[in-house]
Amino acid sequence: MTTLKIYNTLAREKQTFVPLQPGKVRMYVCGMTVYDYCHLGHARVMVVFDLVQRWLRASGFEVTYVRNITDIDDKIIKRAVENGETISQLTQRFIDAMNEDAQALGIQRPDHEPRATRYVPQMLSLISQLEANGLAYKAKDGDVNYSVRDFEGYGKLSGKSLDDLRAGERVELNTGKRDPLDFVLWKASKESEPDEVKWDSPWGKGRPGWHIECSAMSCELLGEQFDIHGGGQDLQFPHHENEIAQSEGAHRHPFVNYWMHNGFVRVDNEKMSKSLGNFFTIREVLQKYDPEVVRFFILRAHYRSPLNYSDAHLDDARQALTRLYTALKDVTADDQPLDRGEAHAVRFAEAMNDDFNTPVAFAALFDLANEVNRDKSPALARQLKQLGAALGLLQRTPQEFLQAGPVDGALDEAAILAQIEARAAAKKAKNFAEADRIRADLLTQGIVLEDKPGGLTEWRRA
């Protein structure tokens, strides 16, 4: 079997993956800030790193996968105050919604889902260590800030020099900071803020900054150094850059060995985001498309490439996934284990081990589906189904997928079956014109009929 290679953002190249502990992988992924419903950009992060942990496990690694939840943040406070509800009421509502969306998309729950508010003591300890190391200071406004210029390696993940950052004015000038590039570790409380976001600290009442949360949670659950840290491309700077500065500044040794970043979801060539107002929530998309189609759509593109959202692309994904399920429709897969030495499985593994190259892996699946269609081989059907499982796909019965719905006002099963019965009655009465009309009418509504030997009629959604 080929060796896994991962594109390491820190090294700017593909590197052979060598875990810190043989056979074990520790992975942390930045999760959601829970003040609203998740959009398709969030779905991509969840699906991509679900794929990564699935393939690591399928490759024989023992994986500890952590994906955090940011449940304290300026936007969360603002939204809760606007809604007249507590922080915990707001965040729990959207955590529940996030979990519903993730489950629909076939995303396996991480081993740990730490909430930032439950790790404040660890954050305070980390800030104290940074202060002892000369990298943190309390400003006049009461905030505790990180002194960026006192950390020698700042900019190594993003490839930005301090002078470039200063010239670009990437950080707003704050008179409480010694340098505009410094970032907040601990925010002093404001009188207007709810009491539930005020924690005691050596520097006075306040709450943690966003960046320190991930450093503290990852260290507590995975150790001071671990294998893989992932997240969206937009987090590379400043969030992940700041995590490195905090963690390495506190512990004086490397933080993460492999940094992985997935590409943006784009709409009309702009990044999908709440700030631009061009986002689609997962649940909005799922009103029109089967969740497995959405998962297929996300995985069909390489995780580092831009993903262009459109109904046309999702329609194409539905047709492509239909081809795979159709191959399994008339042949029963045998119950033997996956044959890793079979030609398609070898191609699939080679693709996945090449930085999770799903487009090439899918090409192997479609070639395999063509052979299943031709040979009706239970062994090849098993290969297709089990390789699909590594992607979180093809685990329903073909009938369940092909008849899935209704979505966006489509006909439900009872209405379809009633039309099929009416067509059968018309054929029995030799009213073939009426039978043809019913078939054509169903087709215009996205329902394809297939007449089988013995008078049986099967249906699927187009």
Residue numbers belonging to the annotated binding site for Zn(2+):
30, 214, 239, 243
Show binding-site residues for ATP.
Answer: 274
Task: Classify residue 81 as exposed, middle or buried by CB count within 10 Å of its CB (0-12, 13-18, 19+).
Answer: middle
Among candidates 264, 248, 265, 266, which has minimal Cα distance to 256?
248
Show binding-site residues.
Answer: 30, 214, 239, 243, 274
